[in-house]
Every structure is written in structure tokens, then in C-alpha cells.
Structure 1
């Protein structure tokens, strides 16, 4: 089962949410999706220098980095996430590029 995290919080909260709106409380999944699963990866990026941003579905073996997986079953525990993910792979980044600044706003 692929679980893609969608990182989202706005200026009024530090909560991160899944696509269905449930809060992410257990942490980010750091599994590498099967590269044969085309069209399953959600790419979210904001590149400050060029002022470009994007949200798109791409092939999991795309050359672009992606930071999330769609979750069919969101997790629930008492722990909370209070900050954005870093390039640390333990926080679920399958790929990260230092030159990209990620600033993501998602209406839930």
C-alpha cells in the first residue's frame, strides 16, 4: 500500500494534514514507492529564486523529486508534528533538492 504524505499547514496552525483533511500525527512515511507505479506520486515544489511553484501528479520514477504519498488509511497516535519536514530521510523525503524551498498551502 502506498502512503503519500501531503504536507500542509497555513500561517495560523502548525498542523500537517492528509489529503482527506485528517491531521498527520504519527509522522512521515519514508518508504520508496515502487518505480513501476506510474502516476502515483504527488509533486509539490516551490522554488523561491524563480518564484515558480507546482502541484502535480507524476510517475514515481520521474526525475523530479516528490515529498508525499497518498494515504488510504491515515494514522492516529498521541504524538504531534510541530514543524516542516527537513531533507532528513527519516522524515519521509524520498528525494530532496537543497536549491528548492518548499512552501506549501493546501485548502482542506
Structure 2
């Protein structure tokens, strides 16, 4: 997991990785802290997906840049295009299935 602390780092992370997953959290968000290990476990099944972590308390502009209204916000990008967006209460198994379908469709390319 790579911590991203500037908007240009977020942009570069998304541009440079075929599969990029951005996890946006806040320091005092208990749901965020509980969900992150589950997301890491899901992503461990997809070795080519790179995980970027953004603390919205430290990078407030992220909300406007990525249109984030609540945390945790989970955004999955394939070749720079957002393909999945989940927020607040995330069903992990449903997320795993969505990621799996998209990953398999794009892995061979």
C-alpha cells in the first residue's frame, strides 16, 4: 500500500498503474479503519492491483478532485478510468466479485 499525500501523487499513481485502487479515509473514521484490512485481503487475490491510501484529513482537496462526499471511499481504476466506486458501507463479497470480473476481463490485454 502506498500512501499518497498530494493530488499530483494521486494522479500519477492512477496514470502509471494499469490497475489502481484508491482508498480514501479519515483519521477519526472507525468504519474506515475496520474496512481497510478487509479491502487489503480482497486485493491480495489480485496481484496486479496497486493500492493507494489517501487520508482526506491531510489532503482535503481529494474530496473535490475525486467527488468524494463520505468516507471510506473506494475507487478502482483500470487504465486511468474509474470502473468501481463504493462508499461508507461496503459489502466485501460483492466488491470482491465486481473486482474479479473487471480484473479478469482486462488481465489478458
Same fold (TM > 0.5): no
TM-score by length of 2: 0.27
TM-score by length of 1: 0.27
From the two aligned structures, give the one with the greater strand fraction.
2
From the two aligned structures, give the one with the greater helix fraction.
2
